[in-house]
């Protein structure tokens, strides 16, 4: 029997509060929290065993090496690998996929060959293969999905028959939809056409019992941080004959037996693919996480996660304005949805105000989103520590969001890709003084009121009219659609710039108008000096935007700077 309240006590972070509310963490597909045993094992290593591995001529190093190699045995046994030497430590799933795309790609792929992937791949199991195909003059072909957003098995079989791919790279579970692919059947079919199979287990490993022998795959990989382990470590499992035949990938220490200036003899498996010092503490943490999972009734855990998902899907599907993707497919506990009239980015910010953490966007699966003709979804992903109460809280807030969206006099317009009409309406550029007032209000407002003020800018009187919402005016690099038009004004031989902007996400609408408060009616050199990061921090708005340099607001500012320089 699986006891979720007891399990929760193993995860200290779950008792924290976010924005004054108890944390409801539903972003487990991005990364999972860590149980105390995992943190303890990392701390124990640094407190008592810290040393490098495999090159020790002292006791600590020997202890660390023994623990490290024992961790490999634990990982091997967790996925049913007959031999620990077939388990290679990587930095994570992405590194494993790159290792394979380079090394296995070099071994197997020739010009004119075909590599098969699915339409639902995470970029990590897609872009490396795409680049291999480009390097080798081969072709990458995606397996389409059915109308129910599951892998189209008959199309898969036809593609195998028609193209006889050298490599089939499939995800075990879709990170964007949670759909479980029939990988055992896929590997069996692939073998009939002599394809080598690579399975991305990143979203499966925390939820499903994995046995690589039973799956019949040639390679299987996953990241530790998705299954309650620390970041920076992953597992790549492969079949011995292929691993032995594959050329080395990264070179350096550890992966060699003997080196002279004109020749290197490479090490045996698994060290041949482990150049340099490995992430020792993270490896030990991963072993602790896998042991932790092994103490649980994994079928009961899976049933618990599936029941949470079923409850959410059944509750939300009653609303015609909510679309749940792949509602009926076998699923690990991911709900991917969109709410008509409400941008997923806005929904996530509003949920975050209530301490509910979800993920929105394309989920690193842009081709999947394109095949569904959407920009992104709102994704709630469950883990073993989530409760029915948390699922109920999530549902209640989604229904609240839906009601307020419906009640809003000015629902956010759906995406539109209109071309520019013959006669365009005049643009009313936002008044610079009014924008400065907005900035001053935002600066003065208490933190909890800033979001409401930003969102209220969706009713701003001077938004860029709909007729200008076309590709030509779209800013690339934003998660939401943002359209911008610039106006140059010459006064006494000096150029000044004005801008009008609009977005289909309310939060981005508010933020982009706020950004204009620093730029409207300014000269090129004033605009070039503007530092958006500094401005965000000084007004306490940074929490509404990803701190990365590639967020949408930076894209807007960069576009404006490029235009005016």
How far is residue 298's CA from residue 39's CA, in Å, rounded to a whole number? 22
User: Nearest approach, Cβ of 473 to ligand PLP (angstroms)?
Assistant: 32
Our CB check for ligand PLP shows the closer of 199 and 560 to be 199
- Beta bridge partners, 222, equal 235
CA angle 192, 195, 200 (to 5 degrees): 115
The DSSP string of 57-102 is SSHHHHHHHHHHHHHHHHHHHHTT-S-GGGEEEESSHHHHHHHIII
Our CB check for ligand PLP shows the closer of 207 and 225 to be 225
Binding to ligand PLP by CB under 6 A, coded x per residue (else -) over 122-151, reads x-xx--------------------------
User: Nearest approach, Cβ of 364 to ligand PLP (angstroms)?
Assistant: 6
- Helix (H) / strand (E) containing 413: none
| Region from 42-50, 121-129, 246-254, 378-386 binding ligand PLP, contact rule CB under 6 A | 121-129
Known active-site residue 364: yes
207-246: contacts with ligand PLP (CB under 6 A): 223, 225
Q: Is 92 a binder of ligand PLP (CB under 6 A)?
A: yes
| Region from 117-125, 130-138, 306-314, 436-444 binding ligand PLP, contact rule CB under 6 A | 117-125
| Region from 70-78, 196-204, 271-279, 520-528 binding ligand PLP, contact rule CB under 6 A | 196-204
Q: Is 481 a binder of ligand PLP (CB under 6 A)?
A: no
3-state secondary structure 364-398: CCHHHHHHCCCCCEEEEECCCCCCHHHHHHHHHHH
| Region from 92-100, 373-381, 419-427, 513-521 binding ligand PLP, contact rule CB under 6 A | 92-100
Contact 491, 521 (CB under 8 A): no
CA-nearest of 100, 84, 88, 77 to 211 is 77
Q: Is 203 a binder of ligand PLP (CB under 6 A)?
A: yes
User: Nearest approach, Cβ of 341 to ligand PLP (angstroms)?
Assistant: 28
67 backbone dihedrals φ, ψ, rounded to 5°? -65, -40
Q: Is 282 a binder of ligand PLP (CB under 6 A)?
A: no
Q: Is 93 a binder of ligand PLP (CB under 6 A)?
A: yes
Q: Is 41 a binder of ligand PLP (CB under 6 A)?
A: no
- The single residue of 187, 217, 364, 478 carrying the catalytic annotation is 364
Tokens representing 494 are 């000096």
Nearby residues of 549 by Cβ (< 8 Å), 6 or more positions away: none
How far is residue 263's CA from residue 559's CA, in Å, rounded to a whole number? 51
For ligand PLP, which residue of 175, 181, 375, 393 counts as binding (CB under 6 A)?
A: 175
Give the count of beta carbons closer than 10 Å to the beta carbon of residue 255: 20
User: Nearest approach, Cβ of 362 to ligand PLP (angstroms)?
Assistant: 12
Nearby residues of 562 by Cβ (< 8 Å), 6 or more positions away: none
Catalytic site positions: 364
Task: By CB under 6 A, name the binding residues for ligand PLP.
Answer: 92-94, 122, 124-125, 171, 175, 200, 202-203, 223, 225
């Amino acid at each position: 029997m699986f006891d979720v309240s007891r399990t929760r006590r193993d995860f200290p972070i779950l008792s924290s509060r976010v924005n004054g509310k108890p944390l409801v963490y539903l972003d487990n597909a991005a990364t999972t929290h860590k149980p105390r045993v995992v943190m303890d094992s990392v701390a124990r290593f640094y407190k008592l065993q810290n040393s490098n591995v495999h090159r020790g001529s002292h006791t600590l190093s020997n202890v660390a090496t023994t623990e490290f190699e024992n961790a490999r045995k634990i990982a091997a046994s967790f996925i049913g690998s007959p031999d620990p030497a077939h388990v290679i430590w990587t930095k994570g799933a992405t590194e494993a996929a790159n290792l394979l795309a380079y090394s296995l790609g070099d071994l197997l792929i020739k010009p004119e060959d075909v590599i098969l992937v699915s339409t639902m791949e995470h970029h990590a199991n897609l872009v490396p293969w795409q680049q291999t195909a480009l390097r080798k003059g081969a072709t990458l072909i995606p397996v389409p999905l059915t109308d129910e957003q599951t892998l189209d098995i008959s199309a898969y079989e036809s593609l195998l028959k028609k193209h006889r791919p050298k490599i089939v790279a499939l995800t075990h579970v879709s990170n964007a939809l949670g759909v479980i692919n029939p990988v055992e059947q896929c590997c069996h079919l692939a073998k009939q056409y002599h394809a080598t199979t690579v399975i991305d287990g990143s979203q499966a490993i925390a939820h499903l019992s994995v046995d690589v022998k039973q799956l019949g795959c040639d390679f299987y990989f996953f990241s530790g941080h998705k299954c309650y382990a620390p970041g920076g470590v992953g597992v790549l499992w492969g079949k011995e004959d292929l691993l032995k035949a594959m050329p080395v990938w990264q070179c350096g220490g550890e992966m060699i037996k003997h080196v002279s200036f004109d020749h290197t003899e490479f090490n045996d498996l698994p060290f041949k693919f482990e150049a340099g010092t490995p992430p020792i503490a993270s490896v030990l943490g991963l072993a602790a996480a896998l042991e932790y999972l092994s103490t649980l009734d994994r079928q009961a855990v899976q049933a618990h996660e599936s029941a949470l998902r079923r409850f959410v899907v059944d509750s939300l599907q009653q609303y015609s304005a909510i679309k749940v993707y792949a509602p009926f497919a076998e699923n690990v506990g991911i709900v991917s949805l969109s709410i008509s009239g409400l941008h997923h980015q806005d929904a996530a910010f509003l949920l975050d105000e209530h301490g509910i953490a979800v993920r929105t966007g394309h989920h690193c699966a842009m081709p999947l989103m394109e095949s569904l003709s959407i920009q992104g979804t709102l994704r709630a992903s469950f883990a073993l520590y989530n409760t029915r109460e948390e699922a109920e809280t999530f549902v209640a807030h989604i229904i609240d969001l839906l009601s307020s969206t419906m009640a809003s006099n000015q629902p956010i317009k759906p995406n539109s890709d209109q071309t520019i009409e013959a006669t365009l309406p005049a643009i009313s550029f936002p008044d610079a003084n009014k924008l400065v007032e907005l900035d001053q209000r935002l600066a003065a407002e208490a933190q909890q009121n800033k979001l409401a003020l930003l969102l209220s800018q969706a009713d701003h009187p001077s938004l860029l009219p709909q007729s200008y919402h076309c590709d030509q005016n779209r800013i690339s690099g934003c998660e939401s659609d943002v359209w911008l038009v610039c106006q140059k004004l010459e006064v006494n031989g000096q150029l000044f710039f004005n801008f009008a902007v609009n977005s289909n996400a309310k939060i981005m609408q508010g933020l982009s108008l706020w950004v204009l408060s620093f730029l409207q009616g300014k000269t090129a050199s004033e605009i070039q000096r503007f530092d958006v990061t500094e401005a965000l921090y000084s007004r306490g708005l940074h929490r509404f935007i990803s701190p990365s340099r590639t967020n949408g607001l930076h894209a807007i500012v960069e576009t404006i700077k490029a235009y005016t320089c």
